[in-house]
Amino acid sequence: MTQSINAGSTEHKLTWLATIICIILVLPGLAIGSLFVAVYRFLLYGYVSASWIPHLEEVAMQWFPNLLHGAVGGWIAIAITAKLFKQSNLEIVAYASAAAWIATMLAISGMGFALGAAFDLTFIALIAQLLGIALGLYTGRESVAQR
């Protein structure tokens, strides 16, 4: 007895392709996220640079913008993927895409550490950006699912 390739739930139709597309679509999403970060930094620069709270400038001008950058990129990627692949399981797409981005960036960072790069604020900003990508993918999936 042979089984059809399309046998099973239609809910998971083309989820593998949607995951690949979503991983790729994070890049244009990050480009658009850069515009949000530029506006954020422009609006807050005068207020934060003369701050009397220790480390506020680092948080407000490095870590939060990278979190915002990643969140916008992830949200745009999952929103476009949801429009293109209506029958795919977006929960699997979001988790797999976030895992792929996190694993790739941490592997690249690990190679940098192996070659002698220092652990500094740049690595913390990368972690914030990866958290932002995951946050954008998950919240984007939720907002698309509610429509």
Q: Express each pLDDT in 35-83 by its tens digit.
A: 988 888 787 765 655 555 666 666 667 788 889 999 999 999 999 999 9
Is this prediction's pTM over 0.85? Answer: no
pLDDT at residue 28 greater than cutoff 90: yes
Residue 4 lies in a domain: no
Considering its fold, how many domains does the chain have in total? 1
Residue 117 lies in a domain: yes
pLDDT given at position 4 = 44
Q: What is the DSSP letter of 71?
A: H
Q: Quick one: CA dihedral 48, 50, 56, 57, positive or negative? A: positive
Q: How confident is the model at residue 125 (pLDDT cuts 50, 70, 90)?
A: confident
Residue span of the structural domain in which 28 resides: 13-146
Amino acid at 37: V
Residue 5 lies in a domain: no
Q: How far apart are alpha carbons 98 and 78 in whole angstroms?
A: 11
Q: How confident is the model at residue 91 (pLDDT cuts 50, 70, 90)?
A: very high
